[in-house]
Amino acid sequence: MTSAAFAELDAAFAEHGPDLAADPPVAVGHRVVHGGTRFREATRIDDEVLATLEELTPLAPLHNPANIVGIRAAMAHFPDIPHVAIFDTAFHRTLPPAAYTYAVPREWQERYDVRRYGFHGTSHEYVSGRVADLVGRSDIAIVVLHLGNGCSACAVLDGQSVETSMGMTPLEGLVMGTRCGDLDPAIPFHLARTTGMAAADLDRTLNKDSGLKGLTGVNDFRTVAERAEAGDAAAAAAIDVVTHRLIKYVGAYAAVMGRLDAIAFTGGIGEHSPLLRARVLGSLGVLGVVLDESANAAARGEGLLSAPQSRVAAYVVPTNEELQIARESVALVGR
C-alpha cells in the first residue's frame, strides 16, 4: 500500500511539478502525533529515533504505529535526504507544570508518563504566528480554536503555548467529531459496572462513537448544522453543547493568561462555519468581543471577524500544517 502511495506521489510531481530531478527535495518532514517527553522539538530521524518512537507507542497506540510505517516507507523511497519528525506535541513543551499535571498519584507521572501533552501543536504554532503577523506584534495573548474533526483550544502567550485542551491523549477537551472531550472520569467505571462493558469497548466508544456522532448519529459538522437549520432538535442541542464548551474554554484561557488580545478560528469547522463562529464570538461580550456579523458571514480564507471597537481581535486563519512542517524541516537541516 505504501509503494502505491509513493507511485501516486511520483505521478503527482511528474504532472504538476516541481521536477524532482532538476529541483530535488532537501528533506522529508513527517508529522508525528506523540513525542512524549522525549521529543520536544523537530528531530532528525535515525534508527535510534525510530526505536524511541516505537517505545512511545503505548502513549499513542492509534497514531504512532501508522506514523512509523509511513516514515520507514518514505526513508526507503528517499534514502539520500534527511527525514525530520515534527511532533504534534512539541509546541506544548512550554506548558507549565500547573497546566500539565493531573491530580493523580505522583508515581503515575513518574512511572507511566501520565501527564497532559497537548496536540495539534503544528497548527496552533502556525496559526498563532499568523495572528501575531496580522496584529503586528508577538507579545500578545491569543486563544486558537482548531475545530476540525479533531478539536482543540490553545492559549498562546507571547508566542508560547501555556494551556491547551487535549491532554495525555487527544480525547480530552472540546466536543469533537467522534470524541467526547471532557468527561467525568467516573463515567467509564459506572458503565463498566452497570453494563459489563470492557475497557476496549469504552475506549472505542469514547473515541469513535461519541462527540457529534454520539449526540446526532453523524460526525460531520456541516450535516449537523444543516439538520439544525431544518429543525432537528438533537442537532440543535449538539451545537449548543459544542458552543457551550468553547465559550467555557475561551473564558478560562483568558483568565489563565490574565488577558486576551486575539481569538483565531481554524480547521474545517473554524474556517467554514460562520454559524459556529458567530455563536461563540457573540457570547464573549464579557471579554469585550464585538463581532462584525457581515465580515463573519463574508469571510473566505484569512480575515478579521471583529468590529473596530472590539477589545479582542477575532480572526479566521486557514491552518497550514504542511508549510509549518516544511519550514521546521528546512530550518533543522539548514538548507
Q: Using CB under 6 A as the criterion, which residues of the chain lie in contact with ligand AMP when the complex forms?
A: 148-149, 177, 220-222, 225, 267-269, 272-273
Tell me: cis bond preceding 18? Omega within 30 of 0 counts: yes
Q: Based on CB atoms, which residue is closest to ligand AMP, 157 or 176?
A: 176
Say how far apart CA 16 and CA 4 lie, in whole Å: 18
Q: Which is nearer to ligand AMP, 82 or 268 (CB)?
A: 268
CA distance 25 to 20: 7
For the CB of residue 243, give the shortest distance to ligand AMP in the complex, in Å.
Answer: 14
Phi, psi dihedral angles at 89 (to 5 degrees): -90, -20
Q: Which residues are catalytic?
A: 88
Shortest Å, Cβ 222 to ligand AMP: 4
Cβ proximity to ligand AMP: between 269 and 316 the closer is: 269
Contacts of 26 (CB under 8 A, 6+ apart): 81, 82, 330, 333, 335
**DSSP annotation string for 301-315:** SSEE-B-TT-SSEEE
CB of 39 to ligand AMP, least distance (A): 24
Cβ count near 237 (within 10 Å)? 13
Q: Fill in the DSSP letter of residue 170.
A: T
Point out the residue whose Cβ comes nearest to ligand AMP: 268
Nearer to ligand AMP, 149 or 205 (CB): 149
Closest CA to 152 of 132, 134, 139, 169: 169
Computed over its alpha carbons, how large is the radius of gyration of the chain? 21
Return the number of the residue (221 or 315) whose C-beta is nearest ligand AMP: 221
From start to end of the chain, where are the E strands?
A: 28-32, 43-44, 83-87, 141-147, 151-157, 160-164, 262-266, 303-304, 313-316
Query: 29 or 148: whose CB is closer to ligand AMP?
Result: 148
What is the spatial order of strands in the sheet that 83-87 belongs to? 28-32, 83-87, 43-44
Judge whether 290 and 257 are in contact, CB under 8 Å.
no
Give min distance, CB of 267 to ligand AMP, in A: 4
Q: Could you give the maximum distance between any two Cα atoms of the chain, in Å?
A: 65
Q: How many CB atoms lie within 10 A of CB 100?
A: 20
Q: Which C-beta is closer to ligand AMP: that of 36 or that of 267?
A: 267
